[in-house]
Amino acid sequence: MQRHKSVEKRDRTSKKANLRNRANRSRVKTAVRGVLEAKDREGAEGALKTAVSVLDKSVKIGLIHKNKAANQKSRLSKLVNKIEKQ
């Protein structure tokens, strides 16, 4: 690695961003998994509300694209609506 101040700073900031992004991606996956593993309608709706909030926040901070979040929210909403019919 080159020994310039800017390169060293870039290395430090990228490591911080990597940790932050990894934690946020994990939070998104956990929220989505909560909806997928919900057993009853009420639990699924609560988990969906949490997942939508987490997805919107991840779009806001630039972690995922807004269309990807919209697709995931739509897919999860369909799943929750299907629980009601059974």
Q: What is the 3-state secondary structure (H, E, C) of 9-60?
A: HHHHHHHHHHHHHHHHHHHHHHHHHHHHCCCCHHHHHHHHHHHHHHHHHHHH
pLDDT category of residue 85 using cuts at 50, 70 and 90: low
Residue 3 binned pLDDT confidence (cut-offs 50, 70, 90): confident
Domains belonging to the chain, first-starting first, are 5-85 (1.20.58.110)
Q: Cα separation of 58 and 60, whole Å?
A: 5
Specify the DSSP class assigned to residue 62.
T
Which is nearest to 44 in space by CA: 53, 56, 32? 32
**pLDDT for the residue numbered 32:** 97
Give CA–CA dist 28/63, Å, rounded.
10
Q: Tens digits of per-residue pLDDT, 5-57?
A: 999 999 999 999 999 999 999 999 999 999 999 989 999 999 999 999 999 99
State yes or no: pLDDT of 86 exceeds 90.
Answer: no
Apex 46 CA angle, 39 and 28, nearest 5: 95
pTM equals 0.86
